[in-house]
Each structure stands twice: as structure tokens, then as C-alpha cells.
């Protein structure tokens, strides 16, 4: 499973010169946690997150200051250029989804833009996208695996079952190369946690 299999596309982007308030409304309206920031040429310039937008934007309530002796001197950013994260971590469309998950966990980010060298930002992978893939129901996974295997070896060659994302494939022929290809094909399907392929002879 690769970035292009799970990414959200087309992606909503923002500009460095956009007002923070405008982008806050955009994120709230669509339920986004972040958005790629692109320059006038469509190239990735950074990433703005909901946390960036929140920073210093909500003043201490005047009623609270009555009882607290504190000097409030916040000057919130006015444009996205002032608060966006740059450079942004980005991946190519062919990046393995497991690598994207590691980036998110290691770098503590919720979204990673997908960039094509010739077309700029083509999508974004969020934690929700990956969770959605993991949560794909077994019936949907079964149909997808069978469909892809049908193009490799025919419709009647493979016996397929799926349980909790684990795919079991039985091959009617004893061909190690074909079994390897079948495993690769199955593991590319969103929602597959593991694929096990055996020959018919081995299960008798």
C-alpha cells in the first residue's frame, strides 16, 4: 500500500499571504487538522496545522484578568507565512504507507503532503486516512484481493479468505514465484494487515 492508495486528493492548499482567520475558517469548515502551503508556482512552501492557527489567537478573558495579576502581551500572527512549519516533510506518491506511518509517529505530525516532482502537491495523507485503510471491513478487502488476483492467474486459481485484515490465499498450483507475486498483490490492498500464501498441496 502506497501514498497514492490512501491519500486524500485533490488537496486543499493555502497561500503564505492568506490571513490566519481565513485559514482557521477553512480548517474548521472541512474538519482538517492541517493544510499544505504552496507558493505562486504551486510548489510546497510549508505546512500549517490547527495548532499553529490556535497559537496566541485566543486572548485571556478580561474577567479572568480581574483576579489574576498577569501582563498579557500577545501579538498573534496575521498571515500564514508567520506561523507555518517549514520546510514541510513531504513524500512521493509511491512512498510506502508504512514509511508514512513511521514519519507521523516519529515526527509527531498528523498529516504529510504528497508531492509529485512534475505536478507539485497532488494529495495529503493524514492519520485519519491511514486509520480508514486499517478499518476497511474484511468483505471489502476480500473483494479487492480477489479482483486483483483474478488478473494474475485467473479467477478460479486462488482461494481467498480474510479475517481481521489477515488474508489467507491458497494457490491451486505449486509455484513459489506465483505465490510471492500473490502476496505482494494482496499486501498492496488497503486494509490488509498481513498476507499468507500457501499451495493447495500444503493444506491437504
pLDDT at 58: 64
Distance between CA atoms of residues 33 and 193, nearest Å: 26
* Mean pLDDT value across the chain: 86
- pLDDT score of 55: 79
Contacts 24+ apart (CB under 8 A), 113-120: 113/11, 113/36, 113/44, 113/47, 113/88, 114/3, 114/4, 114/7, 114/9, 114/11, 114/90, 115/44, 115/90, 115/91, 116/92, 117/92, 120/38, 120/41, 120/42, 120/43, 120/44
SS3 76: coil
The sign of the dihedral angle between the CA atoms of 91, 95, 98, 99 is: negative
Asked whether the beta carbons of 1 and 190 are under 8 A apart, the reply is yes
**What domains sit in the chain, N to C, each tagged with a CATH number?**
3-134 (3.10.580.10), 138-203 (3.30.1340.30)
The predicted pLDDT at position 66 comes to: 63
Q: 204 pLDDT exceeds 70?
A: no
pLDDT confidence bin for 31, thresholds 50/70/90: confident
In this predicted structure, the answer to whether residue 37 has a pLDDT above a threshold of 90 is yes
Q: Is the pLDDT of residue 10 over 90?
A: no
> pTM score, two decimals?
0.74
Cis bond upstream, residue 123 (ω within 30)? no
How far apart (Å, rounded) are the C-alpha atoms in residues 44 and 34? 14
Cβ contact 64:141 at 8 Å: no
Q: For 108, left (φ over 0), alpha (ψ -120 to 50), or beta?
A: left
Q: How many percent of the chain have pLDDT more than 70?
A: 88
Q: If DSSP codes are grouped into helix, strand and coil, which group holds residue 142?
A: helix
The larger pLDDT score, comparing residue 122 to residue 118, is at 122
Give 63-120 pLDDT, tens digit per residue: 666 666 555 556 777 899 988 988 888 999 999 999 999 999 998 888 999 998 877 8
* pLDDT, average across residues 126-151: 92
Amino acid at each position: 500500500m502506497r501514498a497514492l492508495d490512501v491519500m486524500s486528493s485533490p488537496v486543499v492548499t493555502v497561500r503564505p499571504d492568506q490571513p490566519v482567520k481565513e485559514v482557521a475558517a477553512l480548517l474548521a469548515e472541512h474538519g482538517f487538522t492541517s493544510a499544505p502551503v504552496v507558493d505562486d508556482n504551486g510548489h510546497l512552501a510549508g505546512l500549517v496545522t490547527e495548532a499553529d492557527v490556535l497559537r496566541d489567537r485566543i486572548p485571556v478573558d478580561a474577567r479572568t484578568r480581574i483576579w489574576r495579576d498577569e501582563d498579557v502581551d500577545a501579538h498573534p500572527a496575521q498571515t500564514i507565512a508567520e506561523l507555518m512549519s517549514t520546510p514541510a516533510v513531504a513524500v512521493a506518491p509511491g512512498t510506502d504507507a508504512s514509511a508514512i506511518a513511521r514519519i507521523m509517529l516519529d515526527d509527531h505530525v498528523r498529516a504529510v503532503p504528497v508531492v509529485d516532482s512534475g505536478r507539485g502537491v497532488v494529495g495529503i495523507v493524514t492519520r485519519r486516512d491511514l486509520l480508514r485503510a486499517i478499518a476497511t471491513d474484511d468483505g471489502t478487502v476480500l473483494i479487492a484481493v480477489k479482483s486483483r488476483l483474478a488478473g494474475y492467474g485467473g479467477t478460479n486459481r486462488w482461494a481467498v479468505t480474510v479475517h481481521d485484515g489477515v488474508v489467507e490465499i491458497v494457490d491451486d498450483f505449486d509455484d513459489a514465484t506465483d505465490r510471492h507475486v500473490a502476496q505482494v498483490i494482496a499486501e498492496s490492498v488497503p486494509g490488509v494487515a498481513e498476507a499468507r500464501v500457501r499451495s493447495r498441496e500444503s493444506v491437504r
